Structure 1
């Protein structure tokens, strides 16, 4: 039975919000990705501390932020930082910056990052995305098929670079 909003015996509302879903995949992160998670955790703690206890929705807001903090704690606790040190730089793998060209001659650049750091609009794709999986272990000159909902697209790897970003 769901307890999304119930009254406790003392008359105060208690919120039993459903937990935010956690990915079943390993939580590989770049140093930057881990720093972003930690910054989000600090921000959530600050937002929680700033809640006016007399505000009408204070308990709900605290419950929502507490749930977010639990999720962030789980993601940070499961984080497996990956750097480019010691990796062969001739193949695409986690952390790589990959320049590709598609069938229409468009050149695109992607960095393969952790799930929580992904931002496709800025060229950051999750290591579990269809494109990253297609590119995994490819070398310069290899052509791979990116399976997309809009239809398959062949892309050729033009360059592979590894450069750790500051955290």
Structure 2
């Protein structure tokens, strides 16, 4: 193996392991208590993965294996540091952070979502981010109120 090949391989490996940081939202980092616990659990998982990667003897493989957990550790550290744990909604009178809201769309669909932090949002699991267009439009609304999102009407039918 030539020296040139070794250097090229090392350069390629190094460029593979320089992962860009995960983008951090400019919005306030509001989280539920469960969302904060999930961030902490993800942080521990990333720590374990990073520690395991550092046990690898081959330098290039160590870099490859450590890149993702290291990036996740930077992201999760920032999110945990800036997290604002929000209390459960005090009232069911209006949509608030942490509320579960059911609304009817103008196409006849009825949907229910809980409004949560950005990192814990998963629409397929019934949660949406407080900064999503739907959640932003529903904040402060009460049962019977109608909002328009992307040209579609949403009628608040239940808070719970």
C-alpha spacing 1:143/1:18, structure 2 compared with 1 (3 Å): same
> Which of 123, 126, 131 does residue 123 from structure 1 map onto?
126
What is the DSSP-based 3-state SS (H/G/I as helix, E as strand, rest coil) of the residue aligned with 1:41? helix
Q: Unaligned regions of 5+ residues in structure 2, if any?
A: 1-7
Distance 2:45 2:110 in 1: 37
In the alignment of these two chains, the number of paired residues is: 149
Match of 1:23 in 2: 25
What is the DSSP-based 3-state SS (H/G/I as helix, E as strand, rest coil) of the residue aligned with 1:57? helix
| Structure 1 vs Structure 2 CA RMSD | 2.3
C-alpha spacing 1:47/1:105, structure 2 compared with 1 (3 Å): same
Distance 2:141 2:52 in 1: 49
- Deviations along 1:62-115, one digit per CA (max 9) or x if unpaired, are 133112101101000000000125x33200011000011112332210100000
- Deviations along 1:20-48, one digit per CA (max 9) or x if unpaired, are 21110110000111011111001111111
Q: Unaligned regions of 5+ residues in structure 1, if any?
A: 162-167
TM-score norm. by structure 2 comes to 0.83
Distance 1:104 1:94 in 2: 26
Distance 1:92 1:136 in 2: 5
TM-score norm. by structure 1 comes to 0.80
Match of 1:157 in 2: 156
Flag the structure with higher helix content.
2
